[in-house]
Structure 1
């Protein structure tokens, strides 16, 4: 049985709460911010496990370095597909679909999202689970929540991540991508709460579990407007839905092309 857990209001509909804890653009004020933020998090409903995990986070210079280097995707489609190894993603994706056709058919039947799209995303985001990222998820999320540039946006996801720890859905020591992205398809924590699916029916949403990750990814796309049985080629409505996954046009194009090749 696949279960949908509702979004947590504190993580998705907070009124600019981050303003109470002073943001900063260097590590100098991080410890003071962390103490102030802990009080806010407790008021917002974060429990003992989440607060204990917050106390252990550290300022991540690696996260800030990666964040400052972001310039957007400027490659041509052909270069992007070559750099991201789309041919290999297609070959591996076909094998994974052939090895477990019933699993992907069940996902498509429930959510309307075909295997090719999910496998293309899986390959692009984590190399089919071969690399979840090297960054401490909570420290990365806390660092960009503290950073003044996008504090409000990442505060919501940090509160969500602490809530996942409270629920036992996220290991406090979990590793992910530079901005706190989680698991096989690199969800931000707030999206786990909003769109996460308990694909294996064990009462938890664990994005490091493939079944939960694939169900959650399909649910995300469906909730964003995916139309079952319709084309996802460039120019289609489903193609536009991929913008909600990643705003880079070449990324959307690569998913659509790889997905179509995997699905045959």
Structure 2
């Protein structure tokens, strides 16, 4: 029985041959392969940005405070512009909620968080970015798959000029990776164009959250006051999820809202139905603001697996819906 040997790369030129072979195996047209792959170059800026990403030791228990992140991502500018869009487009917001079952203020909050409501979508060439990150090798399989998906978008008629985005390979108003563009780009006003139509961008975000398990009619989460007597060890989760374990280990186990009330965890604002299940998150530790989070918070985490990201999206959404 033969054992497959890892591909040995002698340089980026050699790696382009690997990408071409993968593209052919995936059914990408030869004309597309020939128009793109021979002309790819490595992007040194992309590599530098990737290596600057915060990380720390894999098992580090250090958690930075949430407040600075919140101040940076739940700004008065994002709140006011989102609230104005929410008010002026009420009919569109209702249509989105009726079609997808997702709170429209959450869609706007993600749109605002990701691109400042379409102002900053990125100008990196997506094919070059994805090939560079794949060659770098930290997440080779993931970025190779996304590179192939980007070629498939070209095969489907997406102009190369549209395939611009972030240094990490995300594109359009929703900041989707190419595979998600193929799978979830949604028409909100005539033809699916996540690069030029705000409604298509919002509809595509809604399609993503629905696909991630969003439950209609349930809020993402609420701030709560925690009793000083709460036994945190008794509500600690023992589950270890396959994805983002560092993120989810900060959550408690699931209890109903009724059970949380009985433990002295009291909502300080909007209510969630008593029978709804929720987890407790204290982003800055005991004695600071805490949140009870529903399964819809998990859908936001699927968009970006970071508690700070998901919390800031939820809080921005609440301020948008409140009108500022």
TM-score (norm 2): 0.69
* Residue of structure 1 equivalent to 2:95: 106
* Residue of structure 2 equivalent to 1:183: 172
* Residue of structure 2 equivalent to 1:201: 190
Where in structure 2 are the equivalents of 1:30-179 lying within 5 Å? 30-48=12-30, 50-51=32-33, 52-72=35-55, 75-172=64-161, 174-179=163-168
Q: 1:71 to 1:43 in 2, by over 3 A?
A: same
- Choose between structure 1 and 2 for higher RCO, CA contacts under 8 A separated by at least 6 residues: 1
Q: Which whole-Å CA distance do the structure 2 matches of 1:173 and 1:49 have between them?
A: 18
Is residue 297 of structure 2 the alignment partner of residue 239 of structure 1? Answer: yes
Contact 1:197 1:216 in 2 (8 A): yes
Greater per-residue helix proportion: 1
Q: How many corresponding residue pairs? A: 241
Quote the offset at 1:261 in angstroms: 1.4
Q: 1:243 to 1:143 in 2, by over 3 A?
A: same
TM-score (norm 1): 0.84
Contact 1:118 1:218 in 2 (8 A): yes
Tell me which structure has the larger Cα radius of gyration: 2
Greater per-residue strand proportion: 2
